[in-house]
Amino acid sequence: MSRDEQIKKPLEDFITRAAEIIDELSAEKMISESAINPILAQALGFSDFRSLARFYVYQRISRSLVTSFGTHMENLVKSIIDGEKGDWWDVVKKSSKINYYVSVKSGPRDMNKDQTVEFSRRAKRIMEEDPKALPIIAMGYGKKAWPVITDTLKNQGLDPNKHSYVGKNLYTLLTGDKNYYKKLLNIVVNVESKVIGKKTILQLMDEKVDEIAKEFKNKYKNVDELLSDTF
């Protein structure tokens, strides 16, 4: 299987799951699962069903998608690296010159101080055991790592420029192609078209807003009655 085919799989899984999350949402589910905060809704001044539905449908789905995509993003980066699972390391890829030991994170803010300290401890150990080892934190998007990561690496005696790679720089390191991130974005567009056809995830979300607004209107006289029903 080619690298492009490998990285399409986590993207296809995510987009399929995204469409399912949108499809499963209903007005009844939003009420029964306390997806609507009536006090916040009142404070924001919602006076019609569609604006209320739009705010909370987008909030509910966006949170689910962000959580879901974190895992799929990590799997995507692992697919690009195309190595093997290590005992602790997410991916280990060995070559004649360098052996990469990789801790994969979705983005530049997805690692705290304690996790960075543990990475540093593991990194030092693997560099003692393997002279060709280059342990890195691989972050799938962004321009630079969160200061908590870089400062902690420095305090642990590790060079952040050598042991942390973010976004474009990560993909250049892994593929040797400085424009690989552009190719990756094109792959995402093509996968979305393959999985859900001509519509985009945003279009599916807007259709769900209209559907739920209609359900609200059929069940309640006005927004105040709906908000009272959330208690």
- Which pLDDT tens digits describe the chain residue by residue (231 residues)? 677 778 888 888 888 899 999 999 999 999 999 999 999 999 999 999 999 999 999 999 999 888 888 888 888 888 888 888 889 999 999 999 999 999 999 899 999 999 999 999 999 999 999 999 999 999 999 999 999 999 999 999 999 999 999 999 999 998 899 999 999 888 887 777 677 877 889 999 999 999 999 999 999 999 999 999 999
* Cα dihedral sign, 76-82-85-88: negative
Q: What are 48's two structure tokens?
A: 């019609």
Q: Using a cut of 0.85, tell me whether the model's pTM lies above it.
A: no
Give pLDDT, residue 1: 64
Domain definitions of the chain by residue range: 3-194
Give pLDDT, residue 2: 72
> Looking at residue 179, what DSSP letter applies?
T
Q: What are 166's two structure tokens?
A: 């973010």
Query: To 10 degrees, the CA torsion angle through 143, 146, 150, 151?
Result: 150
- Separation between Cα atoms, residue 180 and residue 63, nearest integer Å: 28
